Amino acid sequence: MFSRIFKYLPFFSDAEVPYTVAARPDTGLYNAKLGIWLFLASEVMLFGGLFSAYIFLRIGAEPGYWPSGLLNVPVGTANTAVLIASSVTVVLAWAALKMRQLAKYKFYMAITILCGVFFLAVKLSYEWPAKFNHFGVFVRQSAASKYDEFLGNKHLSETGQAPRWEISGHLLDAPKGSPYADQAHHNAEHFAHETHRHDAVTEADDDYVIQLDPVNADPDSKENDRPHFLPRPLSSKLAVIKAADVESASTFAPRHSTYFATYFLITGLHGLHVLGGILVFLYLWLPIKGGTKLYQSNPEHLANRVEIAGLFWHFVDLVWIFVFPIFYLL
């Protein structure tokens, strides 16, 4: 049965696929190029819809409920530079194939793959885990005056800025039964080890204790009125917040806010595209039938495959150039 199915799938059979090298007379393009542009058109609609959702969610957010300055700008900038560099190397790899320089092609393609792997590794091993260990508590507006030493809303009101309702940092103690109790316990042990202080855990069963971010440790400081390129370290100041005064509390995960929901959705989807690009590049780089072995029989066909993969990679990098400023800078 499988052989019957496979005979219609050119990938698994020896059937001749037309117009892989020469342009098809009616379209003026080889088939794969037409295919990739149709695919990229659908991708524009996919990411366009998500970016539109981001814009409308941001415009519709209540004042003080759209965070900023929570992402690591140097890391994001470095990752952007890596992706731009990978777009250059993939074009150099393609140009090398066009000039029939296989060794150069392999070299530039290897660099492109490494750039993609570096991007994903940074995202998955550093950026995302750092967010999952950061905690934010949105205080009820009716109780906000009790916590103004951490929110600084008097200062924000005097300077004409949006109010702040969130107190964030590392969670050191959580109310009884909280799903974050283990994380809090781990952080509290680390805090005690680092500072030799043992006031991070309270007697009460309904307290959140948070080791504060600089923005909440000194909320009236003018330093908080501007963005910072380098992330600022946590302060040693603690905030104790009653569970009854809390509107919502979460790590910086998708459930934290629409900001993080859209951040993880768009960067996650983008990351999947980067992974897909890496896998295709690996296929074209390895000495297998569809990869560099193809160079021996039909180098132009391999060059066309690399061009198609390169077009996809450029699109993925272009998406990131829009993602970076809207999430990290604005």
Partner 1 sequence: MSLKAFHIFFILVSIVFAAGLSAWAFKTGASDALGFVSGASSLLLLVYGMAFLRKARSIIT
Q: How far apart are CA 133 and CA 213, in angstroms?
A: 13
Judged by CB under 8 A, the stretch of 10-18, 74-82, 105-113, 207-215 that binds partner 1 is 74-82
Determine, following the binding rule CB under 8 A, whether residue 88 of this chain makes contact with partner 1: yes
Determine, following the binding rule CB under 8 A, whether residue 95 of this chain makes contact with partner 1: yes
Question: Which residue among 146, 190, 301, 314 contacts partner 1 (CB under 8 A)?
Answer: 314
In the complex with partner 1, the residue whose CB is nearer, 44 or 321, is 321
Q: Which long-range contacts (CB under 8 A, 24 or more apart) does 178-184 make?
A: 178/249, 180/135, 180/249, 180/251, 183/133, 183/135, 183/251, 184/209
Question: Can you give the length of the chain in residues?
Answer: 330
CB of 171 to partner 1, least distance (A): 28
In the complex with partner 1, the residue whose CB is nearer, 210 or 316, is 316
Residue 165, both tokens: 């309702």
CB of 301 to partner 1, least distance (A): 15
Determine, following the binding rule CB under 8 A, whether residue 44 of this chain makes contact with partner 1: no
Q: How far apart are CA 285 and CA 280, in angstroms?
A: 9
Closest C-alpha among 117, 114, 120, 105 to residue 284: 105
Determine, following the binding rule CB under 8 A, whether residue 214 of this chain makes contact with partner 1: no
Question: Which residue among 34, 57, 73, 234 contacts partner 1 (CB under 8 A)?
Answer: 73
Collapsing DSSP states into helix, strand and coil, what is residue 320?
A: helix
The radius of gyration computed from the CA coordinates of the chain, to the nearest angstrom, equals 26
Determine, following the binding rule CB under 8 A, whether residue 38 of this chain makes contact with partner 1: no
Question: Which residue among 6, 13, 17, 37 contacts partner 1 (CB under 8 A)?
Answer: 37
Determine, following the binding rule CB under 8 A, whether residue 230 of this chain makes contact with partner 1: yes
Determine, following the binding rule CB under 8 A, whether residue 329 of this chain makes contact with partner 1: yes
Judged by CB under 8 A, the stretch of 94-102, 186-194, 257-265, 288-296 that binds partner 1 is 94-102
Residue 288 makes CB contacts below 8 A (sequence gap 6+) with none
Closest C-alpha among 81, 231, 70 to residue 166: 70
Closest C-alpha among 175, 233, 177 to residue 201: 175
Site string for partner 1, 269-308 (x = CB under 8 A): --------------------------------------x-
In the complex with partner 1, the residue whose CB is nearer, 29 or 234, is 29
Collapsing DSSP states into helix, strand and coil, what is residue 121?
A: helix
Determine, following the binding rule CB under 8 A, whether residue 317 of this chain makes contact with partner 1: yes
Q: How many CB atoms lie within 10 A of CB 189?
A: 13
Q: How far apart are CA 296 and CA 97, in angstroms?
A: 12
Determine, following the binding rule CB under 8 A, whether residue 226 of this chain makes contact with partner 1: yes
Which residues are near partner 1 by CB under 8 A? 33, 37, 73, 77, 80-81, 84, 87-88, 91, 94-95, 98-99, 226-230, 307, 310-311, 314, 317-318, 321, 324-325, 329
